[in-house]
Chain A
């Protein structure tokens, strides 16, 4: 039973993102993290890390379920890499515990953990060829030569590296190096695979292909992945769930679309995509509907909000640029629109970004798909336009 178990697995969360027809046909399944009875696979419990002067991690708790592709997202210095290194065992937490599959691994040394890590620099051994690089971990386990041969052969096939076994790392391209690094980790059949900025060293076109490749491999072998990245697009493309971190704390955990559409703070809202913020005061709150008066917009806006907000609270009203519509005609209804003048237009090919200055002087960003060719475009510089949006597409942030 030492053979690698490469089975095609039906992912519990995949249909929703890739196959529209599938998600319509099948009854939406509850994800593991939505099921209160589900046992988390990786548990990070009140983990803090303190150095002499800096505190990269402050009381972080996180549960990750089996077969997830979980992303830790954050700017530099937010503690995401420290958390990854604690999981790998390169760092000991100052306090708190880490469990994998129910076992407390907080004090288990690096080389005895069922965890493998793929480094940002790939960290391939320069003196060994591709075969020996991949076989390195198996040799440490003192497996028989034929078994090592079989396993390496299988994994090189999986990552599409057959024929490169004799090459040395400095003869490989960036993408090939990355696949060797991945194979080297996967061949050990870890319970948990950690990836530190796996795409950082690849160029943009290769990055997109590799993101899907990595997700496919993860689906096929069914290993839990934890990925560290500063690129929100990468995290959103690949992950089942992600955690946004700032200053050693986790700001929000959730599926990519949840975090994008329902951020819980200004920081998260801004980090995962462009957004327009307006300061406002709550006028009225009935059921899930709020009325907000914003002097910055110059009108009363309404939005849906699940929680309760007392009347008179200062809040931030936020709308994402792609949720804003634009017209030269004045909307017929009294709320959720504002008049402005187009100051800048950025033509990006598939979309255009408009910077519209409104009466309060604030510049609102709106993106519109270029449905027409450039010459037939309706809007030009210095045009007076009306920006409007739907109440359910706006966000109310209390923090």
Chain B
């Protein structure tokens, strides 16, 4: 009796699978996937290709301010002129190399600091009682509701020569001359950490929330002290969130322009500022493009290699 019933269900399912409606629904799924794919191709892949092309052009006066790479000449010949001088300049000039190194150091310090503080905060929020979690998360996301520019600018208001902190310290007689807080790499670092900490907290928090509470209890039960449980269970299991957070903070802080510009002073040399100057001050489009491509090659490609290696390991 039971057997007949199940085969009846099977037949009904087969009929549904063979129907035209089901097939079209399956196609809808395909179209749904196509939508973001075509968006990425149209607005990400093609522009990057254009940038790659321009990076091999010569800088000229005119509109557009670069020479053609592909030229259609008589006799149906396509002439390709690749100018690699921009790349050679980048590799040979300590100015560019220094900006890369500075950005990399700033990015690393920001990412590591954010990872430590972000994990601590996410874990703290994860540990408090149920009713407190949502307000705390809301407080973290609150910083996103204020304009990024205003948040960075208010640091200047706080720490400039005539800012709140210096005025206060002079008023109470602790110092005579205002301290120069603004205009160095420390300040850039603080600004970066301040702005990008939430980007680290959220992915880690969501990874922590996924840990089964009984898994933690079971680790204690198997002889793990509370601190050992953290290192052997909580950290490894939430590492996916930590990695996602590092990726977000790392990429964002690497290419940051506003924070070094406002808090780093005029002589701070970071990749974002160099890019800005090449484009807006020197109007050198090919150089700007070559710099952009270099940073992709330098920082993004290793990321993909890391990911592939991890996939192989699993």
Question: Count of chain B residues with Cβ under 8 Å from any Cβ of A?
Answer: 17
Asked if A388 lies at the interface with its beta carbon under 8 angstroms from chain B, I say no
Q: Is the pair B223, A188 in contact by a Cβ cutoff of 8 Å? A: yes
Q: Which residues of A contact B (CB under 8 A)?
A: 88-90, 110-112, 115-117, 119-121, 123-127, 136-137, 140-141, 184-185, 188
Given A140-B224, A188-B222, do A123 and B236 touch, yes or no (CB 8 Å)? no
* Additional A-B contacts beyond A89-B220, A184-B222 (16; CB < 8 A): A110-B217, A111-B220, A111-B224, A112-B223, A115-B221, A116-B222, A117-B221, A120-B214, A121-B214, A125-B218, A137-B223, A140-B222, A140-B223, A185-B222, A188-B222, A188-B223
Interchain Cβ contacts under 8 Å between A and B, 13 examples: A90-B220, A111-B223, A112-B223, A115-B221, A116-B221, A119-B214, A119-B218, A120-B214, A125-B218, A125-B219, A136-B219, A140-B223, A184-B222
- By a CB distance below 8 angstroms, the chain A residues around B220 are 89-90, 110-111
Asked if B233 lies at the interface with its beta carbon under 8 angstroms from chain A, I say yes
Q: Is the pair B233, A125 in contact by a Cβ cutoff of 8 Å? A: yes
- By a CB distance below 8 angstroms, the chain A residues around B225 are 111
Q: Is the pair A123, B237 in contact by a Cβ cutoff of 8 Å? A: no
Q: Is the pair B217, A119 in contact by a Cβ cutoff of 8 Å? A: yes
- By a CB distance below 8 angstroms, the chain B residues around A126 are 215, 237
Give B233-249 as 1s and 0s: 1 = Cβ < 8 Å from A's Cβ atoms.
Answer: 10011000000000000
Asked if B130 lies at the interface with its beta carbon under 8 angstroms from chain A, I say no
- By a CB distance below 8 angstroms, the chain B residues around A124 are 215
Q: Is the pair B223, A123 in contact by a Cβ cutoff of 8 Å? A: no
Q: Is the pair A123, B228 in contact by a Cβ cutoff of 8 Å? A: no
Q: In the complex, what distance in Å separates the CA atom of A185 from the CA atom of B217? A: 13
Q: In the complex, what distance in Å separates the CA atom of A38 from the CA atom of B219? A: 34
* CB of A71, distance to nearest CB on chain B (Å): 20
Q: In the complex, what distance in Å separates the CA atom of A119 from the CA atom of B222? A: 12
- By a CB distance below 8 angstroms, the chain B residues around A89 are 220-221
Asked if B176 lies at the interface with its beta carbon under 8 angstroms from chain A, I say no
Q: Is the pair A123, B217 in contact by a Cβ cutoff of 8 Å? A: yes
* CB of A152, distance to nearest CB on chain B (Å): 13
- By a CB distance below 8 angstroms, the chain A residues around B214 are 119-121, 123
Give B204-215 as 1s and 0s: 1 = Cβ < 8 Å from A's Cβ atoms.
Answer: 000000001011
Q: In the complex, what distance in Å separates the CA atom of A123 from the CA atom of B233? A: 12
- By a CB distance below 8 angstroms, the chain A residues around B232 are 136
- By a CB distance below 8 angstroms, the chain B residues around A119 are 214, 217-218
Q: Is the pair A123, B224 in contact by a Cβ cutoff of 8 Å? A: no
Q: In the complex, what distance in Å separates the CA atom of A120 from the CA atom of B237? A: 20
Q: In the complex, what distance in Å separates the CA atom of A120 from the CA atom of B220? A: 16
* The residue from A88, A117, A125 contacting B215, defined by CB atoms under 8 A apart: A125
Q: Is the pair A88, B223 in contact by a Cβ cutoff of 8 Å? A: no
Q: Is the pair A117, B218 in contact by a Cβ cutoff of 8 Å? A: yes
Q: In the complex, what distance in Å separates the CA atom of A154 from the CA atom of B12? A: 48
Interface residues of B in 238-290 (CB under 8 A from A): none
* B228 and chain A: residue at smallest CB distance: A140
* CB of A7, distance to nearest CB on chain B (Å): 24
- By a CB distance below 8 angstroms, the chain B residues around A90 are 217, 220-221
- By a CB distance below 8 angstroms, the chain B residues around A88 are 217, 221
User: Which 10 interchain pairs have the tightest Cβ spacing?
Assistant: A140-B223, A137-B222, A123-B218, A123-B214, A110-B220, A119-B214, A123-B215, A127-B236, A111-B220, A111-B223
- By a CB distance below 8 angstroms, the chain B residues around A188 are 222-223
Q: In the complex, what distance in Å separates the CA atom of A124 from the CA atom of B222? A: 12
- By a CB distance below 8 angstroms, the chain B residues around A110 are 217, 220-221
Q: In the complex, what distance in Å separates the CA atom of A126 from the CA atom of B214? A: 12
* CB of B4, distance to nearest CB on chain A (Å): 17
* CB of B225, distance to nearest CB on chain A (Å): 5
- By a CB distance below 8 angstroms, the chain B residues around A116 are 221-222
* B221 and chain A: residue at smallest CB distance: A117
Q: In the complex, what distance in Å separates the CA atom of A141 from the CA atom of B228? A: 12
Q: In the complex, what distance in Å separates the CA atom of A184 from the CA atom of B223? A: 12
Q: Is the pair B237, A111 in contact by a Cβ cutoff of 8 Å? A: no
Q: In the complex, what distance in Å separates the CA atom of A181 from the CA atom of B285? A: 62
Q: Is the pair B212, A111 in contact by a Cβ cutoff of 8 Å? A: no
Q: In the complex, what distance in Å separates the CA atom of A125 from the CA atom of B220? A: 12
Of A112, A125, A188, most buried by chain B (CB within 10 Å of CB) is: A125
Q: In the complex, what distance in Å separates the CA atom of A127 from the CA atom of B218? A: 14
Of B214, B232, B233, most buried by chain A (CB within 10 Å of CB) is: B214
Q: In the complex, what distance in Å separates the CA atom of A13 from the CA atom of B214? A: 33
- By a CB distance below 8 angstroms, the chain A residues around B219 are 125, 136
Interface residues of B in 95-131 (CB under 8 A from A): none
Give B177-216 as 1s and 0s: 1 = Cβ < 8 Å from A's Cβ atoms.
Answer: 0000000000000000000000000000000000010110
* CB of A92, distance to nearest CB on chain B (Å): 14
Q: In the complex, what distance in Å separates the CA atom of A58 from the CA atom of B233? A: 35
Q: Is the pair B237, A127 in contact by a Cβ cutoff of 8 Å? A: yes
* CB of B237, distance to nearest CB on chain A (Å): 5
Of A115, A123, A137, A141, most buried by chain B (CB within 10 Å of CB) is: A123
- By a CB distance below 8 angstroms, the chain A residues around B224 are 111, 140
* B314 and chain A: residue at smallest CB distance: A168
Q: In the complex, what distance in Å separates the CA atom of A127 from the CA atom of B215? A: 11
Given A123-B212, A125-B233, A127-B236, do A136 and B217 touch, yes or no (CB 8 Å)? no
Given A90-B217, A119-B217, A121-B212, do A136 and B222 touch, yes or no (CB 8 Å)? yes
